[in-house]
Amino acid sequence: MKKLLLGPVVLFVSLAPVFAQYTFTSLDYPGGTVTTTRGINNHGEIVGGYRITGPRHALLIKGGQYIPIDPTSILGTNYSEAFKNNDRGDVVGQYIGSDGFIHGFLLRKGVLTTLDFPTASDTYAYGINESGTVVGGWDILDSSGNALVEHGFTWNKGNFTQVDFPGAADTAVLGINARGDLVGGWDAGITSPVGHGFVFTKGQYVNLDVPVAGATITSPNDINAQGAIVGYYFDAGGNFHGFLMEGAKFTSIDYPGAAETSAWGINSAGQIVGIHFDTVNSPRRGYIAQPGKKGKP
């Protein structure tokens, strides 16, 4: 992979409240016990997962309808979850195969393609942009199923490229936008209690940590065409919150009344999707946050 430069490691940001800027709506699969919303494209189509009684399955929410994705394939029989979708309708995510390992997938025009990084134990497909480049992560497990190392990747037209944040022990690429900017996470060791985010843009890696005192983990999960980034962070008490970064502006995102919130996807209109928990141990529920007009709630 082309050698890239390590950029500045500090982001100076201003803080802003979220409730005056967004209207939140919970998204729950009818009759389901779990709903996740991970990605949203510029048509407002949302992907994620749902569970009724069995394993979670990949889900599309379109025009107010909750639609299982490719339900007659392995996505409908085994655990599966969709993580991102582009404007062409391509969907990426992962499923558990009959071998017990996790495999990435790309669903394009009804054709399901399995994505397995060479030599990997598990492969996770987390993002896709308009040109069809897929991003994600892969790991190597020991005989007990413990992860020994994790790396990021990009995939395009059948070709994988490994991605590692400079100097990191572990890396995962979680999002990619139309111009090829990447976001993801890295750490200093597989058991490290501290996790950092990063942005890769204009040939440089930039470290990204939320400006919240005591925060231990920062996970940027998506980046839109304008460069706005969403993700989640763990506070000093071990609870997680969503966040939005728009240049130098940082906004913490918490679903009203929820115990914990994460943000996973953002489109060019600024619509955000993610997951919230009513209580710390309650099932996952999806949501969409709609940006309001400037100066109005």
Query: What is the pLDDT confidence band of residue 11, given thresholds at 50, 70 and 90?
Result: very low
What average pLDDT score do residues 275-296 get? Answer: 86
**pLDDT grade, residue 21 (50/70/90)?**
confident
Whether the predicted pLDDT of 294 surpasses 70: no
The DSSP result for 262-288, as a single string, is: EEEEE-TT--EEEEEESSTTSPPEEEE
By CB atoms closer than 10 A (0-12, 13-18, 19+), residue 77 is: middle
Amino acid of residue 7: G
pLDDT on residue 276: 98
Beta bridge partner(s), residue 65: 62
Q: Are 47 and 83 in contact (CB under 8 A)?
A: yes
Model pLDDT for residues 192-232, shown as the tens digit of each residue: 999 999 999 999 999 999 999 999 999 999 999 999 999 99
Report whether pLDDT(29) > 80: yes
Neighbouring-strand partners of residue 139: 122, 150
Quick one: pLDDT at residue 242?
Answer: 98
C-alpha distances out from residue 184 to 79, 88, 170, 175, 217, Å = 24, 23, 11, 7, 12
Instruction: Let me know: does 283 contact 275? Beta carbons within 8 Å.
Output: no
CA distance 127 to 137: 10
SS3 sequence of 167-220 = CCCEEEEEEECCCCCEEEEEECCCCCCCEEEEEEECCEEEEECCCCCCCCEEEE
CA 63 – CA 68 distance, rounded (Å)? 14
* Helix/strand/coil for 247: coil
By the 8 A CB rule, do 165 and 153 touch?
no
Range list of H helices, the chain: 74-77
More confident residue, 248 or 179: 179
**Confidence tier at 292 by pLDDT (50, 70, 90):** confident
pLDDT greater than 90 at residue 154? yes
Structural contact between residues 268 and 7, judged by C-beta atoms closer than 8 angstroms = no
CB 272 within 8 A of CB 265: yes
Q: Span 20-36, mean pLDDT? A: 93
pLDDT digits 0-9 by tens, 48-61? 999 999 999 999 99
**Domains of the chain and CATH, by start:** 5-291 (2.120.10.30)
- The predicted-structure confidence for 79-122, as pLDDT tens digits, reads as follows 999 999 999 999 999 999 999 999 999 999 999 999 999 999 99
**249-253/240-246 β-pairing:** antiparallel
CA distance 11 to 198: 11
Position 297 confidence tier, pLDDT thresholds 50, 70, 90: very low
Q: 14-16 and 249-253: which strand pairing?
A: parallel
Quick one: CA dihedral 48, 244, 178, 294, positive or negative? positive
Predicted confidence at residue 18, as pLDDT, reads 52
Q: Rounded distance, CA 152 to CA 109, Å?
A: 26
What's the token pair of residue 278? 């009513």
Judged against a pLDDT cut of 70, whether residue 296 lies above it is answered with no
Beta bridge partners of 204: 5, 201
pLDDT category of residue 17 using cuts at 50, 70 and 90: very low
pLDDT band at 70 (very low <50, low <70, confident <90, very high): very high
pLDDT at 204: 97
